[in-house]
Chain A
Amino acid sequence: MHKLKAITPLGRTEPKTDNFTGLSITENPARALATLTARLGHETACTAQVSAFIGCDLPGPGKSVVGETYGAIWIAPSSWMIEADHTGHELIAQELKPVAGETASVVEQTDAWCRFDITGSAADDLFERLCNVDVRAMNSDTATRTTIHHIGCYLWCRKAGFEYSVLGPRSSAGSLHHALVEVAQAVCPV
């Protein structure tokens, strides 16, 4: 067996945290991801079966939900990103597929994305400079796709005005992190 060592999207052994006055940016590699897309004509069955399994209703357009174990983000009509803790649910796609059966297609997404958790009172100032989302109008538990630094990302508002997560393509983790940190330096007084 090879002695392989997992690295974070930024290529480190430990997740990186950047702290600013009123803001922190933390790399979060601890979530497993999979997309769930209901097949044509099976939308109702898919929603019912998967909602029962994850313990919360799959959210509607623009919304997200966080349950005890699983979370879900609406990403497209009849399509969701499902997330759970990586340690216990690394095979999240294999957990979901038997539940959804023929009603949906499930695609493993864990290593396709990097995630940065942004917390602090300056979060709105940060994102209104980084993307064209009306971030101050975002309610808690909503998510939207947007472009940050020419990178297509999901902006997930977990707690309005204070707690956000950004999901971006893992291969662009460095560029996305650079954009977040650079703007954070500009908006947060030293």
Chain B
Amino acid sequence: MIIDHPLLGPRDAQEFVYLGDATLIDRPDWQAENAAEAFHDYLYLRDNPAGEHRELWYHEQGDRSWLVVTRNTLTHEITSVELARDVARARGRGR
């Protein structure tokens, strides 16, 4: 499988480490009223789609950047690769 890194171009998937569902970026507010419930859902509940899936990959044998890869779990076709920090910032996370 080849992952088209947004900065470095096509790279072999063996250079990457897979983390999991990209919703991990949406960490709940720990001070919210329903924090315990929100963290339960955040930690344990995952969608398991047969189809398009957004997931976090780490370019460990490369530039050490986190990526959000949109991959079809049926065909392994990768339709989009973004830097996770750009995704997180677009959602108002980070500074």
Contact = CB atoms under 8 A, between A and B. Distances in A.
Interface of A: 40-41, 61-62, 75-77, 132, 144-147, 152
Interface of B: 7-9, 12, 14-15, 61-65, 83, 85, 94-95
Contacts of B14: 132, 147
A76 B63 contact: yes
A76 B9 CA distance: 14
Contacts of B65: 76-77
9 contacts: A61-B7, A62-B7, A62-B8, A76-B63, A77-B65, A132-B12, A145-B61, A145-B62, A147-B15
Given A40-B95, A76-B65, A152-B61, 20 more contacts: A40-B94, A41-B95, A61-B7, A61-B8, A61-B63, A62-B7, A62-B8, A62-B9, A75-B63, A76-B63, A76-B64, A132-B15, A144-B8, A144-B62, A145-B61, A145-B62, A146-B61, A147-B14, A147-B15, A147-B61
Contacts of B83: 77
